[in-house]
Structure 1
Amino acid sequence: MNLLGKWLFILSLIAACGVAAWFLAPLLEVSFEIASLVAMTIAYLLLSAYLELFRHRLRKNVEGMTVEERVALSELEPEIRYSIPAAGSASPRITTLVGAIAVNGPVIPLMVGPLALLQYVFNVHHPLAMALSLALGFVLAWAWWSVGVTVWRWWATSHRGMPPGEVQWRGEEASILWPENHFFEKTELGKLISRRRAS
């Protein structure tokens, strides 16, 4: 899929979530914003299930290849390289699932929590207060992510025996990690500490 196709897919998915939220809001008796969050979560889960099914089929196809074919393809594509775990290693699926739940799971609640608390508990709807609560939520979520990915990387390599390259690739594929050398990747607590020690 080319870049234009990816953007069209993303925009159509967002539009579909908006339409679904418009129908869900009165059914669930919640605001459009909450219904949008529900619709996006459902879309995320459906896409994740589809990708997992695709990867399962890929693993089966790779298992049927000869060793020479696997070696040749693994040099070209990490999906092939890491599709079959090494004998005796811990399950990469469980390692990635733990990272997705422990690191990404609390991010959205932390991001919208201060705003929800402000609106639904304290009944404050002032625009400045809402903007500040959103900023606070963003800072809390980013701090959680920064610490969480550092701990997850350490756990995946030290306790699960996953090579650092595979941790990076699987983390990117599961939207736990940013790509290497990306500006946001440099905000991981572990990267910040390493740069501080090097200077």
Structure 2
Amino acid sequence: MAMMMRADAQDNRRRILAAAEEVYASGADASTERVAELASVGIATVFRHFPTKAALLEAVLVTRLERLRDQAQALLDADDPGAALSGFFAHLVIDAAGKLAIAEALRASGGDDTEAERASYALHTAVGELLSRAQKAGAVRDDLGLDEFYALLIGASRGAAAMELDDTARDRMLEVVFAGLRPMEAHPRTT
């Protein structure tokens, strides 16, 4: 029988995860000591919850991916499926730099990312449901598969992060992507 974690231990774990996400997503001064300091706990408390830096990083990445999955699932009831999909796409692009920094730190730590892969697949599935709803509503071209859509999403996310685009350039890039996602009949024909 699994033991229940005391309320104060649960609170410490939540604070550690939140601090670690902030520290490792920024990339600057990314250390376990900084996580402990920001979470207002001792370093021993961090290691009591997460025996290795890799375990901490995987927990942070899984938590972040699960939160994104939950956000996508919450949008499945949106009145405007097209706006829900484009808004979530933009959110993922804006969020990408931090997520990529955490994923890179996990890889560098030699961690096992099996749980992160599962969480990533669940996010992929939720995005697929958003895409399907937007296509059924006629907001997104229906000849686009999930893998193609996800490739656009990953490319836009990595590109915006790598180029460190300012808000104006990022928003313009997203406008171009969204224009290409519109149903074919929405595109003006040139003769």
TM-score bin (small chain): 0.3 to 0.5
Higher radius of gyration, 1 or 2: 1
TM-score by length of structure 2 reads 0.34
TM-score by length of structure 1 reads 0.33
